[in-house]
Amino acid sequence: MNTTYTIREATYADIATIHRLASAIWEPTYSPILTQEQIAYMFQIIYTTEALQQQMEEGQTFLLLYSDSEPLGFAAYSLKDGQEQVYKLNKIYLLPARQGEGLGKRLLEAVEERVAALGALFLDLNVNRHNKAKAFYERCGYQVHQEEDIAIGPYWMNDYVMRKKLA
Protein backbone atom coordinates (compact mmCIF):
# COMPACT_ATOMS: atom_id res chain seq x y z
CA MET A 1 0.00 0.00 0.00
CA ASN A 2 1.39 3.38 -1.00
CA THR A 3 1.09 6.10 1.57
CA THR A 4 0.37 9.57 0.28
CA TYR A 5 2.00 12.43 2.17
CA THR A 6 0.72 15.94 1.78
CA ILE A 7 1.77 19.26 3.22
CA ARG A 8 -0.65 22.13 3.27
CA GLU A 9 -0.93 25.55 4.84
CA ALA A 10 -2.95 25.56 8.03
CA THR A 11 -5.87 27.90 8.70
CA TYR A 12 -7.60 28.96 11.89
CA ALA A 13 -9.79 25.87 11.48
CA ASP A 14 -6.65 23.73 12.01
CA ILE A 15 -5.69 25.18 15.39
CA ALA A 16 -7.27 22.25 17.27
CA THR A 17 -5.24 19.81 15.14
CA ILE A 18 -2.00 21.70 15.82
CA HIS A 19 -2.83 21.76 19.53
CA ARG A 20 -3.48 17.97 19.54
CA LEU A 21 -0.21 17.30 17.73
CA ALA A 22 1.72 19.56 20.10
CA SER A 23 0.14 17.78 23.08
CA ALA A 24 1.44 14.45 21.78
CA ILE A 25 4.89 15.75 20.76
CA TRP A 26 5.95 18.42 23.26
CA GLU A 27 6.58 16.37 26.41
CA PRO A 28 8.48 13.47 24.77
CA THR A 29 10.60 15.97 22.83
CA TYR A 30 11.66 18.06 25.80
CA SER A 31 11.56 15.71 28.81
CA PRO A 32 15.21 14.65 28.29
CA ILE A 33 16.45 18.27 28.51
CA LEU A 34 13.90 20.39 30.46
CA THR A 35 12.06 20.02 33.77
CA GLN A 36 8.40 18.98 33.76
CA GLU A 37 7.55 22.41 35.20
CA GLN A 38 9.30 24.24 32.35
CA ILE A 39 7.70 21.98 29.74
CA ALA A 40 4.22 22.63 31.17
CA TYR A 41 4.81 26.38 31.49
CA MET A 42 6.10 26.76 27.93
CA PHE A 43 3.30 24.61 26.51
CA GLN A 44 0.75 26.94 28.11
CA ILE A 45 2.52 29.99 26.65
CA ILE A 46 2.92 28.60 23.12
CA TYR A 47 0.27 25.97 22.42
CA THR A 48 -3.08 27.00 23.86
CA THR A 49 -5.62 27.57 21.11
CA GLU A 50 -5.54 31.29 21.93
CA ALA A 51 -1.74 31.41 21.68
CA LEU A 52 -1.76 29.58 18.35
CA GLN A 53 -4.40 31.94 16.96
CA GLN A 54 -2.33 34.93 18.10
CA GLN A 55 0.78 33.50 16.42
CA MET A 56 -1.14 33.16 13.16
CA GLU A 57 -2.47 36.71 13.49
CA GLU A 58 1.07 37.98 14.10
CA GLY A 59 2.32 36.49 10.84
CA GLN A 60 3.39 32.91 11.50
CA THR A 61 2.46 30.59 8.66
CA PHE A 62 1.78 27.03 9.82
CA LEU A 63 2.14 23.96 7.62
CA LEU A 64 0.59 20.59 8.41
CA LEU A 65 2.03 17.26 7.25
CA TYR A 66 -0.44 14.46 6.63
CA SER A 67 -0.15 10.78 5.85
CA ASP A 68 -3.33 10.18 3.87
CA SER A 69 -5.78 11.95 6.23
CA GLU A 70 -3.78 11.53 9.47
CA PRO A 71 -1.88 14.61 10.73
CA LEU A 72 1.71 13.67 11.62
CA GLY A 73 3.44 16.99 12.25
CA PHE A 74 3.60 20.70 11.72
CA ALA A 75 5.96 23.58 11.12
CA ALA A 76 5.64 27.35 11.39
CA TYR A 77 7.69 30.14 9.86
CA SER A 78 7.70 33.92 9.62
CA LEU A 79 9.81 36.83 8.45
CA LYS A 80 12.56 37.35 11.03
CA ASP A 81 12.03 40.54 13.02
CA GLY A 82 13.75 43.53 11.46
CA GLN A 83 15.59 41.55 8.80
CA GLU A 84 14.83 41.55 5.13
CA GLN A 85 15.39 38.29 3.29
CA VAL A 86 15.80 36.31 6.53
CA TYR A 87 12.97 34.06 7.65
CA LYS A 88 12.70 32.10 10.87
CA LEU A 89 11.55 28.54 11.30
CA ASN A 90 9.60 29.04 14.52
CA LYS A 91 8.70 25.39 15.04
CA ILE A 92 8.90 21.99 13.41
CA TYR A 93 7.59 18.88 15.12
CA LEU A 94 6.70 15.32 14.14
CA LEU A 95 4.97 12.64 16.16
CA PRO A 96 7.78 10.71 17.91
CA ALA A 97 6.69 7.38 16.37
CA ARG A 98 7.15 8.86 12.87
CA GLN A 99 10.59 10.40 13.37
CA GLY A 100 13.46 8.90 11.39
CA GLU A 101 11.40 8.26 8.24
CA GLY A 102 12.52 11.34 6.30
CA LEU A 103 9.28 13.19 7.01
CA GLY A 104 10.94 15.95 9.03
CA LYS A 105 13.27 16.61 6.11
CA ARG A 106 10.29 16.73 3.78
CA LEU A 107 8.53 19.25 6.05
CA LEU A 108 11.69 21.34 6.45
CA GLU A 109 12.23 21.40 2.67
CA ALA A 110 8.63 22.57 2.19
CA VAL A 111 9.35 25.53 4.50
CA GLU A 112 12.61 26.29 2.69
CA GLU A 113 10.86 26.26 -0.70
CA ARG A 114 8.07 28.53 0.50
CA VAL A 115 10.33 31.13 2.12
CA ALA A 116 12.71 31.11 -0.86
CA ALA A 117 9.71 31.86 -3.08
CA LEU A 118 8.99 34.84 -0.77
CA GLY A 119 12.50 36.18 -1.34
CA ALA A 120 14.37 34.71 1.62
CA LEU A 121 18.12 34.31 1.29
CA PHE A 122 18.47 32.66 4.70
CA LEU A 123 16.37 30.52 7.00
CA ASP A 124 17.20 30.66 10.70
CA LEU A 125 15.99 28.41 13.49
CA ASN A 126 16.56 28.07 17.21
CA VAL A 127 17.40 24.72 18.77
CA ASN A 128 18.11 24.01 22.42
CA ARG A 129 21.84 23.45 22.86
CA HIS A 130 21.11 19.98 24.31
CA ASN A 131 18.48 18.93 21.76
CA LYS A 132 19.47 15.94 19.61
CA ALA A 133 17.64 17.64 16.71
CA LYS A 134 20.76 19.78 16.21
CA ALA A 135 22.39 16.87 14.35
CA PHE A 136 19.31 16.60 12.08
CA TYR A 137 19.56 20.30 11.21
CA GLU A 138 23.28 19.95 10.48
CA ARG A 139 22.55 17.06 8.10
CA CYS A 140 20.02 19.35 6.37
CA GLY A 141 22.67 22.03 5.79
CA TYR A 142 22.22 24.31 8.82
CA GLN A 143 25.18 25.69 10.74
CA VAL A 144 25.42 27.34 14.13
CA HIS A 145 25.21 31.08 13.51
CA GLN A 146 25.19 32.25 17.14
CA GLU A 147 24.13 31.31 20.67
CA GLU A 148 21.13 32.90 22.33
CA ASP A 149 19.63 32.71 25.82
CA ILE A 150 15.94 33.62 25.89
CA ALA A 151 13.89 34.22 29.03
CA ILE A 152 10.44 32.62 28.97
CA GLY A 153 8.77 33.57 32.22
CA PRO A 154 10.99 32.27 35.02
CA TYR A 155 12.81 29.85 32.68
CA TRP A 156 15.58 30.13 30.13
CA MET A 157 15.91 28.65 26.68
CA ASN A 158 19.61 28.12 25.97
CA ASP A 159 19.66 27.88 22.21
CA TYR A 160 21.81 27.78 19.16
CA VAL A 161 20.61 29.95 16.31
CA MET A 162 21.27 27.88 13.20
CA ARG A 163 21.20 29.28 9.68
CA LYS A 164 21.03 27.93 6.16
CA LYS A 165 21.76 29.91 3.02
CA LEU A 166 18.99 29.15 0.56
CA ALA A 167 19.80 28.54 -3.12
Q: What is the pLDDT of residues 8-66, one digit of tens each?
A: 999 999 999 999 999 999 999 889 988 999 999 999 999 999 999 999 999 999 999 99
How confident is the model over 78-101, as a mean pLDDT?
93
Per-residue pLDDT at 1 exceeds 80: no
With H, G, I as helix, E, B as strand and everything else as coil, classify residue 8: strand
Pairing of strands 86-94, 122-128: parallel
Which range has the worst mean pLDDT, 35-39, 70-74, 91-95?
A: 35-39
Per-residue pLDDT at 78 exceeds 80: yes
| Count of domains observed in the chain | 1
- Burial label for 11, CB within 10 Å (0-12, 13-18, 19+), is exposed
Per-residue pLDDT at 74 exceeds 90: yes
CATH of the domain at 145: 3.40.630.30
Structural domain span for residue 94: 5-165
**Mutual angle of helices 36-46 and 15-30, in 10-degree steps:** 160
How confident is the model over 133-155, as a mean pLDDT?
93
Which range has the worst mean pLDDT, 67-71, 79-83, 158-162?
A: 79-83
